[in-house]
Structure 1
Amino acid sequence: MSTETSDTRVPGAGRAAEPPSGRQAWATTWLLLAFMLVNFADKAVLGLAGPEIMKEFGLSRGEFGTAQAAFFSLFSLSAVGVSFLTRKVRTSVLLLAMALLWSVAQLPMLWAAAGFGTLIATRVLLGFAEGPAAPVAAHHVFGWFEQRERTLPTAVLMVGAAAGVAVAAPALGAVISHFGWRWAFGAAGLAGLLWAALWAVKGKEGPLAPPVGSRARTEDAVCPEVPLRSVLLSPTFVTAALGSFAAYWVMSAKLTWLPDYLHTALGWDLRQAGAAVGGGAVANGVVLLAHGLLARRAALRGTGGRLPAGAGAGLLLLASAAAVALFATSGILWIKIPMMFGPMALALVMITVAQTSVARITPPSQRGVALGALVAVFALGGIVSPLVLGGIVDSASTATAGYRNGWLVTAALLLITGLLAALFMRPEKDANRLGVPESQATGVPVSH
């Protein structure tokens, strides 16, 4: 799709020689938005089809939580492992391979004889294929934008994640109602294959992408690496990972258990629950996009440093904690339901801020690995959340009481990690301490 030629200019110098093309940069961003849309539609399938699957296979909520957790069994390992490949293989190639693999992983569930064992196996394969999706997509899009402009395209990728749920919830709910739950998996797989065909034609590297293979040594000479341990143990990385873990916990909990909660505790049917989940996902996207636009406006006006990134993201986690607690304890629908449409979504901003913050404290040649490590940590929330909440609900006297306790545990997690991020997540301070100037974090322009 693209080849590299070396460029030994000092980062930040001669930038006008080959600036990123705004049209190409945003065309790539929109393609990756669709990539994340399909990615999270894949994740949403199991939660949306959950009541039908539990009924057909005779599963308890704890057993169903095990099926959801199976998705994340190799998720973190593949996120790290494939991220190391970003120094050897172009991200455009990696993204295509992932899309093909996860699409193929969905299709076996169309087979009428495919049972619970097949479901577990395909979820493990799907998780392996999708684990590196977020860090590799972010690493790819950062090759098209300068450091100060990265918040908005990163937010767009997250909007794709939210839109994936928004589109999947009503659409796959309708597929399940008319064609059965197996065709929900088939529809998600076919959507992934369509995206892969488009990316094979349109996908390419950005002009600020770090070189790969033998040409990576050129960049190493111009942008020296720092000890990876220093990056991973920095206060910014640790608190960004913990805050993102809590945000991903919320996302996974909503994907897995919110349809069942609305059905069991509130008595809604599958179509109503799907519409509510989809509406909440649209609100998630609005929150993320609004944050990205505000951050871009502040950066262009030179006012982005008034409130440290960690402090702002930490405060939003605290607000999300309050919203989850209110959602759990209120018995009044007109108070409870609005919490899904925005306030609970404030936690997701942490995932956007965490990625741009980690990119800021990491040289470009190591950026893919650092982003992979970030995802590997916070994706553990996807493993723990379904198991913990499923166990809490099964062990309670009633499902309603169990869900209340589970949501309160979630609120406590958001509270603790929000305080840590507000106090210790300082990307500019850690970047200066590690010796990573902003020009180095942006990358070396290369020709394609």
Structure 2
Amino acid sequence: MESTNAPAGHAGTVTVAPAGRPAWTTTWLLLGFMLVNFADKAVLGLAGPEIMKEFGLGRQEFGTAQAAFFSLFSLSAVGVSFLTRKVRTSVLLLAMGLLWSVAQLPMLWAAAGFGTLVATRVLLGLAEGPAAPVAVHHVHGWFEQRERTLPTAILMVGAAAGVAVAAPTLGAVISHFGWRWAFGAAGLAGLLWAAVWAVKGKEGPLAPPVGRRAHIAGGEPGYAEVPLRSVFLSGTFITAALGAFGAYWVMSAKLTWLPDYLQTVVGWDLQQASAAVGGGAVANGVVLLAHGLLARRAALRGTGGKLPAGAGAGLLLVASAGAVTVFATVDALWIKVPMMFGPMALALVMITVAQTAIARITPPSQRGVVLGVLVAVFALGGIVSPLVLGWIVDSAASATIGYRNGWLVTAVLLLGTGFLAALFMRPEKDARRLGVPESQAAGVPVSH
């Protein structure tokens, strides 16, 4: 596929990468990357009851361990995203995969205590903070703007798939080999992915140049940059970040506290709770994939845009708020349990929509940086959520009351951020105002 809208100063055509086998192979590899990423996140929640019992921890103390994961998460998301202007994303992704394993494997040591757990979670968060923005930036180097929603959604499906695979698998590992081997299994999975990526991972033909090539290209009209301050102060960026914050809050709350909630309040055993968490994660993936397929179909048919992206994603946050409210207040399991399998997952669509919307209002050479800042902002939900819910539960008269109050706080957050996104998240309008044409994401010069 070729386009004739070459950047000024270049003779000839602009080659556009078809969404063929190399593009989709990269997408599936990065799906595996995100799968391991979220299995790493889920392992602490799944092993939580056993860890609290062995170390004699309260829920608020355990929440501190989960929050430790996010202590450097946002900082590294921004810092490494700036490196995307200097270092190839394929190299950054390989380094992250290796560091994840380095962070997980020490917990196999029998003498590793709570201090080691906190330290390794800090290291893991440092290595995983840039995962989503760098992976999305990398995959966008293989697809045109109009085709990016589906591969972005597939990467986010990795979050659901990681939990879906991790919940029953690591639950069985914990039951048969102890909670320490759950960390060991996650570390070995990271090493396996890194070995495959070292052989198969490479840059896409639409990837912006880095290093010296980036400096040369940066002065050409086809690669014109915009002031980052204008991007960060746009209605699209602010409300996308807030909406994704709400979505990440509920995702982190479920990863950290849902296994304990199902065992403590509902009365299920570890196997039942793990199966339910895994089933809910499968439903999360179905929601994300269905949204990606529908968005891609609408874009390719030219029927998208009838409902602004922010309005649609914002309304899904509002719907998710309703589902969380029902989950928190209704005791009947035939009503409560189905809320986990789809309705509560609607919030996660905002994480996909936020990233594609931000990519639309940002020139390719600045995309990695802006995506990194976006993730840094919404990942704060991962720091605050475990601590706040842990404090609410421990402060209540009973775990049942505490969890109900915690889920209702989550519902209010989703409701507020959903309305803001529906009203003010307008990527096409802000892209026109910032002077970022869609054609900038459609190709790269044949030569430099």
Q: Which residue of 1 aligns with 2:162?
A: 164
Q: Which residue of 1 aligns with 2:255?
A: 255
* Secondary structure, aligned partner of 2:253: helix
Q: Which residue of 2 aligns with 1:109?
A: 107
Q: 1:393 to 1:24 in 2, by over 3 A?
A: same
- Which of 21, 24, 30 in structure 1 is aligned with 2:22? 24
- Distance apart, 1:219 and its partner CA: 2.6
Give per-residue Cα distances to partners, 1:176-217, cap 9 Å, x unaligned.
000000000000000000000000000000000000000002
In structure 1, C-alpha distance between the alignment counterparts of 2:57 and 2:12, rounded to whole Å: 62
Q: 1:445 to 1:37 in 2, by over 3 A?
A: farther
**Matching of residue 192 in structure 1 with residue 190 in structure 2:** yes
In structure 2, C-alpha distance between the alignment counterparts of 1:337 and 1:247, rounded to whole Å: 19
Q: Which residue of 1 aligns with 2:378?
A: 378
Give per-residue Cα distances to partners, 1:148-195, cap 9 Å, x unaligned.
000000000011110000000000000000000000000000000000
Equivalent position amino acid for 1:196 in 2? A
Give per-residue Cα distances to partners, 1:317-372, cap 9 Å, x unaligned.
00000000000000111010000000000000000000000000000000000000
Q: 1:157 to 1:119 in 2, by over 3 A?
A: same
In structure 2, C-alpha distance between the alignment counterparts of 1:342 and 1:329, rounded to whole Å: 18
Q: Which residue of 2 aligns with 1:389?
A: 389
Cα contact 1:151–1:356 (8 A) shared by 2: yes
Q: How does 1:206-221 map to 2 (within 5 A)?
A: 206-220=204-218, 221=220
In structure 1, C-alpha distance between the alignment counterparts of 2:329 and 2:46, rounded to whole Å: 24
Cα contact 2:15–2:446 (8 A) shared by 1: no
Give per-residue Cα distances to partners, 1:23-82, cap 9 Å, x unaligned.
100000000000000000000000000000000000000000000000000000000000
Cα contact 1:310–1:423 (8 A) shared by 2: yes
Q: How does 1:47-66 map to 2 (within 5 A)?
A: 47-66=45-64
- Distance apart, 1:440 and its partner CA: 1.6
* Secondary structure, aligned partner of 2:143: coil
- Distance apart, 1:228 and its partner CA: 0.3
Equivalent position amino acid for 1:335 in 2? I
Aligned Cα RMSD in Å? 1.5
- Distance apart, 1:10 and its partner CA: 1.1
Q: 1:424 to 1:443 in 2, by over 3 A?
A: farther
> Which region of structure 1 is more displaced relative to structure 2, 124-133 or 211-220?
211-220
* Secondary structure, aligned partner of 1:402: helix
In structure 2, C-alpha distance between the alignment counterparts of 1:14 and 1:170, rounded to whole Å: 54
Q: Which residue of 2 aligns with 1:5?
A: none
Equivalent position amino acid for 1:243 in 2? G
Cα contact 1:139–1:367 (8 A) shared by 2: yes
Cα contact 1:364–1:443 (8 A) shared by 2: no
- Distance apart, 1:444 and its partner CA: 2.5
Q: How does 1:324-403 map to 2 (within 5 A)?
A: 324-403=324-403
**Matching of residue 10 in structure 1 with residue 38 in structure 2:** no
Q: 1:215 to 1:106 in 2, by over 3 A?
A: same
- Distance apart, 1:92 and its partner CA: 0.1
Q: Which residue of 1 aligns with 2:311?
A: 311
Q: 1:350 to 1:194 in 2, by over 3 A?
A: same
**Matching of residue 176 in structure 1 with residue 180 in structure 2:** no
Cα contact 2:81–2:134 (8 A) shared by 1: yes
Q: Which residue of 1 aligns with 2:40?
A: 42
In structure 2, C-alpha distance between the alignment counterparts of 1:337 and 1:276, rounded to whole Å: 8
In structure 2, C-alpha distance between the alignment counterparts of 1:400 and 1:19, rounded to whole Å: 53
| Aligned residues with identical type, % of pairs | 85
In structure 2, C-alpha distance between the alignment counterparts of 1:416 and 1:434, rounded to whole Å: 27
Equivalent position amino acid for 1:132 in 2? P
Give the number of aligned pairs: 441
Equivalent position amino acid for 2:155 in 1? L
**Matching of residue 81 in structure 1 with residue 102 in structure 2:** no
- Distance apart, 1:14 and its partner CA: 6.0
In structure 2, C-alpha distance between the alignment counterparts of 1:447 and 1:165, rounded to whole Å: 43
In structure 1, C-alpha distance between the alignment counterparts of 2:204 and 2:297, rounded to whole Å: 23
Q: 1:445 to 1:189 in 2, by over 3 A?
A: farther
Q: How does 1:217-296 map to 2 (within 5 A)?
A: 217-220=215-218, 221=220, 222-296=222-296
- Distance apart, 1:406 and its partner CA: 0.2
- Distance apart, 1:135 and its partner CA: 0.0
In structure 2, C-alpha distance between the alignment counterparts of 1:347 and 1:105, rounded to whole Å: 30
Cα contact 2:19–2:143 (8 A) shared by 1: no
Equivalent position amino acid for 1:85 in 2? L
Q: Which residue of 1 aligns with 2:199?
A: 201
Cα contact 1:208–1:445 (8 A) shared by 2: no
Cα contact 1:219–1:365 (8 A) shared by 2: no
In structure 1, C-alpha distance between the alignment counterparts of 2:53 and 2:389, rounded to whole Å: 19
* Secondary structure, aligned partner of 2:208: coil
Q: TM-score, normalised by structure 2?
A: 0.96
- Distance apart, 1:441 and its partner CA: 3.8
Cα contact 1:159–1:288 (8 A) shared by 2: yes
Q: 1:263 to 1:156 in 2, by over 3 A?
A: same
- Which of 112, 118, 130 in structure 2 is aligned with 1:132? 130
Cα contact 1:362–1:441 (8 A) shared by 2: no
- Distance apart, 1:9 and its partner CA: 3.9
Q: Which residue of 1 aligns with 2:421?
A: 421
- Distance apart, 1:301 and its partner CA: 0.6
In structure 1, C-alpha distance between the alignment counterparts of 2:185 and 2:330, rounded to whole Å: 37
In structure 2, C-alpha distance between the alignment counterparts of 1:276 and 1:219, rounded to whole Å: 50
Q: 1:184 to 1:446 in 2, by over 3 A?
A: farther
In structure 2, C-alpha distance between the alignment counterparts of 1:21 and 1:174, rounded to whole Å: 38
Equivalent position amino acid for 2:78 in 1? V
In structure 1, C-alpha distance between the alignment counterparts of 2:312 and 2:12, rounded to whole Å: 34
Equivalent position amino acid for 1:212 in 2? V
Q: 1:335 to 1:366 in 2, by over 3 A?
A: same
- Distance apart, 1:295 and its partner CA: 0.2
Q: TM-score, normalised by structure 1?
A: 0.96
In structure 1, C-alpha distance between the alignment counterparts of 2:162 and 2:447, rounded to whole Å: 33
